[in-house]
Amino acid sequence: MTIKSFPAFFLILLFLCLIGDLYGTHNRAGEIRLEQIGELRLRATIVTYTKASSVDADRDSLRIDWGDGNNSIVGRINGNGQGEIIGNDIKMNIYIGEHTFPGRGTYTISMMDPNRIAGIRNVNFPNSVIVPFYIESSFTFLNPQFQGFNNSVVLLNPPLDFACVGRRFIHNPNAYDPDGDSLSYELVVPMETNGEPVPRYEFPDQVVPGPDNNISLDPVTGDFVWDSPQLAGEYNIAIRINEFRNGNLINYTIRDMQINVRDNCESEPPEIEAADELCVIAGDTINELVIATDPDRDPRQLVRLSASGGPFEQEFSPARFEILNGFQEHPLEGRFIWETICNHISGQSYTVIYKAEDNTFNTAGLVELRQFRIKVSGPPPQNLRTSGGLNEIELRWDQPYACEETFNNYFNGFTIWRKEGISDLEIDTCGTDPADAGFVPIGFGVTNLDDESYFFNDRTAEKGKVYCYRVTAEFALRTDFGNYPFNRVQSLPSEEVCDQLGRDVPLIVEVSVLETNPQDGSIQISWTKPVVGDLDTLEFPGPYRYQLLRSTGLGNTDFSPVPGADFSSPTFSGANDTTFIDSDIDTENLPYTYTVAFYAGSSIEYGRSVPASSLRLNATGANRVNRLNWEAVVPWNNYSFELYLTSRDGEILELLEVTDNSEYVHQELENESEYCYLVRSEGTYGLSDIRSPLFNFSQVICSVPIDTIPPCPPVLEVENICNALDDSGPIDEGDLVNTLKWSLQDCGEGGDNEDLAGFQIYYASSESESLEFFEEVSGNTFTITHSPESGLIGCYAVRAIDLSGNISPFSNIVCKNNCPVYNLPNAFTPNGDGHNDLFVPFEPYLFVERVEFEVYNRWGQKVFETTNPEINWDGTNFNGQDLSEGTYHYRAKVFFRTTDTIESSRVLTGFIQLIR
- Alpha-carbon Rg for the chain, nearest whole angstrom, is 42
Please, are residues 839 and 823 in contact by the beta-carbon 8 Å criterion?
no
CA distance 619 to 629: 7
Encode pLDDT of 266-300 as tens digits.
788 899 999 999 999 999 999 999 999 988 877 77
Please, are residues 323 and 332 in contact by the beta-carbon 8 Å criterion?
yes
* Rounded-to-5 percentages of helix, strand, coil across the chain: 5, 50, 45
Encode pLDDT of 833-891 as tens digits.
888 999 999 887 888 888 999 999 988 899 999 999 999 999 999 999 999 999 999 99
Mean local confidence (pLDDT), 309-319 = 95
Q: What is the DSSP letter of 621?
A: E
Give the model's pLDDT for residue 11. 31
Higher pLDDT: 530 or 363? It is 530
CA distance 732 to 423: 76
Phi, psi of 783 (to 5 degrees): -155, 145
Asked if residue 24 has pLDDT above 90, the reply is no
Mean local confidence (pLDDT), 437-451 = 95
Encode pLDDT of 720-750 as tens digits.
888 766 544 455 555 789 999 999 888 776 5
Give the model's pLDDT for residue 843. 80
Least-confidence region, from 56-60, 73-77, 473-477, 566-570? 56-60
Encode pLDDT of 596-605 as tens digits.
999 998 889 9
CA distance 774 to 756: 19
Q: What share of the chain has pLDDT > 90, as a percent?
A: 73
Q: Which is it for the CA torsion 804, 805, 810, 811, positive or negative?
A: positive
Cβ within 8 Å of residue 167, ≥6 positions away: 228, 229, 265, 268, 269, 366
Phi, psi of 895 (to 5 degrees): -105, 125
Q: Give the angle subtended at the CA of 519 by the CAs of 516 and 522, to the nearest 5°.
A: 45
Q: What is the DSSP letter of 89?
A: T
Mean local confidence (pLDDT), 233-257 = 96
Encode pLDDT of 485-500 as tens digits.
889 999 999 999 999 8
**Over the chain, what is the mean pLDDT?**
90
CA distance 820 to 513: 75
Helix (H, G, I), strand (E, B) or coil at 748: helix
Give the model's pLDDT for residue 745. 84
Asked if residue 617 has pLDDT above 80, the reply is yes
- Tell me the C-alpha to C-alpha distance, in Å, between residue 597 and each of 498, 538, 562, 611, 614: 24, 20, 11, 10, 18
Burial 146-168 (b: 16+ CB within 10 A, else e): ebbbbbbbbbbbbbbbbbbbebb
Encode pLDDT of 188-224 as tens digits.
999 999 999 999 999 999 999 999 999 999 999 999 9
Asked if residue 153 has pLDDT above 80, the reply is yes
Helix (H, G, I), strand (E, B) or coil at 708: coil
Give the model's pLDDT for residue 898. 65
User: Residue 380 carries which side chain, given as an amino acid letter?
Assistant: P
Say if pTM beats, i.e. exceeds, 0.85: no
Encode pLDDT of 336-372 as tens digits.
999 999 999 999 999 999 999 988 778 888 889 999 9
Least-confidence region, from 163-172, 556-565, 840-849? 840-849
Asked if residue 80 has pLDDT above 60, the reply is yes
Please, are residues 335 and 290 in contact by the beta-carbon 8 Å criterion?
yes
Give the model's pLDDT for residue 142. 92
Cβ within 8 Å of residue 249, ≥6 positions away: 242, 243
Give the model's pLDDT for residue 727. 46
What are the beta bridge partners of residue 240?
Answer: 186, 254
The Cβ of residue 390 has, within 10 Å, a number of other Cβ atoms equal to 12
Cβ within 8 Å of residue 321, ≥6 positions away: 306, 307, 312, 334, 335, 336, 337
Encode pLDDT of 571-596 as tens digits.
999 999 899 999 999 999 999 999 99
